[in-house]
A and B are shown apart, each in its own frame.
Chain A
Amino acid sequence: MKKIMEVISYLALVLIVGAPLLFYAEKIDLDMNKMLMTIATVVWFLSALCWIGREKVDV
């Protein structure tokens, strides 16, 4: 489960920067960019809560 959440989190991060890149490439409009970034934000926080901080911190 943790591994799946980790993968979902990374996909959300890809979307956070992917949406602006798609907007830059004129593949999506600004409203779509805003919506995708907001969705990615929600997904990131929900999924990251499940694994960040629960792992042993590398010191």
Chain B
Amino acid sequence: MSEENQEKHGEFEREPVPESKTRGLKAFVGMYAGEHCAGTELMIGPLFVAAGVSAFDVVFGLLIGNLLAVLSWMFLCAPIAVRARMTLYYQLEKICGTHLVTLYNLANGVMFCFLAGSMITVSATALGVWFHFPMPGLNDILPNSLGWVLAVLGVGALITLVAAWGYDMVSKVANIAAPWMVLVFLGFGIVGLRQFIEVTGAEVHSLSSLWVLCQEAIFKGGDPLPGQVKFTFWHVTFFAWFANMAMHVGMSDLSVLRFAKKSWHGVASASGMYVGHFMAWLAAAVLYSLQLHLDPANTDVLPGPLAYRAAGVAGLICVIVAGWTTANPTIYRAGLAFQAIMPKKSRFAVTIGTGMLATLAGMFPGIAMKLLGFVAIYGLILMPMGAVIFSDFWIFPKLGLTQYYAEHRSLKINWAAGIAWIGTVVICLALVKSGNPMFQIFFVALPGWFIATGLYILISKMMQKGSSV
């Protein structure tokens, strides 16, 4: 495809991005800040509180975990992105072969569907405030009322139709909503804090007295709510680090950062981490903690009512828009992944099918209520392919191994990459099953990265031994 055509489609999907099309830091700062201020942030903050985090654990865990995430973008993903300047899928195709990429697309598409489902769940909780139907509780897995099912169906159908017909329009709404949404999230935190001061009668005149309020009332620590895993400093740190593991360690953002002028532009991810995954999580957590303080029996994590109590109709609009604008591109991306598997199906049909799957997932509140665990599994499943790309790019030349092996040998499947991927996931899940607290689902991806790297190098050495390329 000529550069003119490429530019028209705006993608450079099967060739490196030319230097002339690279972008400055500013373009990425805005993109990351908007992308990581999503509807699901309104679930994650409260779930930390439900997990019994203490003030020190949540504040310093998030500061360090988000820093580790930014460093992963800067030093794992961005350096390869700006050198190869290829999409994740094209790079994977060259390493793994088309059949394995298809399998990866399937896994990616399914995970995106579940993620979009939880975003639809978040939006549907706003409808409950208006229509007063019974909404799911913290430990509900299955839909608990007809009203809930109809609300999710309505929101899901609307989001799906818009994703299929008017993606550009929603993109525009998302761009417009992003700065407003960030400030509404901040408003949630400020209002929640004031209400906490009122109900506890605390005197807050300085940072140290605010810290005392956080320790004694907002993030008291102690036992988690029934059915929840206890979160310590390490849980929060690793969760924040790996919440977007598929994107940084898993290299999904190669497709984004290939447009960056310099690899240090990966630092732009800090805007998303410290706005969305620090401020927004803490703000939502304050609202939920206030709810528990006022009524310890009310453990429901429902972003709609939480936001309404703090910001009225603006809060409800924020919940709907946050869920909608982030579910939309997620359904679209899942559709793209599925379409790669079924290229003869129209984009419209695939997006409708994907949206229906996401809507079905959204009806089951168990996914959103167990979002902490789901996010960890999501990262774990897609991470090994990032380790494969890392090894292929940096380690293979040093070991004298052939890079982009599937392309060189015209393979449909590079078994070294396939075994490293599936093998790592199986080993990690077995480690989780072992029950050793060191290998909880929130931590296991760290040893998993080394397992994937080791497996890929070892099997590639065996495969490439004696083969002339």
Q: How distant is B306 from chain A, measured CB to nearest CB, in Å?
A: 14
Q: Is A4 interfacial (CB 8 A cutoff)? A: no
Whether B172 is near chain A, meaning CB under 8 Å from some CB there, is yes
Please give the residue numbers on chain B whose beta carbons come within 8 Å of chain A beta carbons, in ascending order: 23-24, 26-27, 172, 175-177, 179-180, 183-184, 186-187, 190-191, 193-195, 311-315, 317-318
Q: In the complex where A53-B175, A59-B27 touch, is A37 in contact with B312 (Cβ < 8 A)?
A: yes
Q: How far is the CA of A38 from the CA of B311 in the complex (A)?
A: 8
Flag if B194 contacts A59 (CB, 8 Å). no
B180 contacts A44, C-beta separation under 8 Å:
yes
B176 near A48 (CB under 8 angstroms)?
yes
CB pair A20–B180 under 8 Å, yes or no, is no
- Using a CB-CB cutoff of 8 Å, which residues 36-59 of chain A contact chain B? 37-38, 40-41, 44-45, 48-49, 52-53, 57-59
Q: Which 7 A-B pairs have the closest CB atoms?
A: A34-B312, A37-B314, A20-B190, A20-B187, A41-B314, A16-B183, A38-B313
A57 and B28 alpha carbons, distance in the complex (Å): 12
Q: B190 — which chain A residues lie within 8 A by C-beta?
A: 17, 20-21, 23-24
Interfacial chain A residues near B318, Cβ < 8 Å: 41
A11 at interface (Cβ–Cβ under 8 A)?
no
Q: Give chain A's interface residues, CB within 8 Å of chain B.
A: 12-13, 16-17, 19-21, 23-24, 26, 30-31, 33-35, 37-38, 40-41, 44-45, 48-49, 52-53, 57-59
Contact of A53 among B172, B187, B314 (CB under 8 A): B172
A40 and B293 alpha carbons, distance in the complex (Å): 30
Smallest CB separation, B219 vs chain A (Å): 19
Query: Are A16 and B175 interface neighbours, CB within 8 A?
Result: no
Q: Per a CB cutoff under 8 Å, which of A13, A26, A59 touches B183?
A: A13
Choose from B23, B26, B314 the contact partner of A34 (Cβ within 8 Å).
B314
CA distance A31 to B312 in the complex (A): 8
Q: CB distance B191 to A53 under 8 Å?
A: no
Contact B184 A37 (CB under 8 A): yes
A38 with B183: CB separation less than 8 A: no
The reply to whether A33 and B191 form a contact with Cβ atoms under 8 Å apart is yes
In addition to A16-B183, A41-B318, A44-B176, 18 A-B residue pairs with Cβ atoms within 8 Å of each other are A12-B180, A16-B180, A20-B187, A20-B191, A24-B190, A24-B194, A30-B195, A33-B312, A34-B311, A37-B314, A38-B312, A41-B180, A41-B184, A41-B314, A48-B176, A52-B176, A53-B172, A58-B24
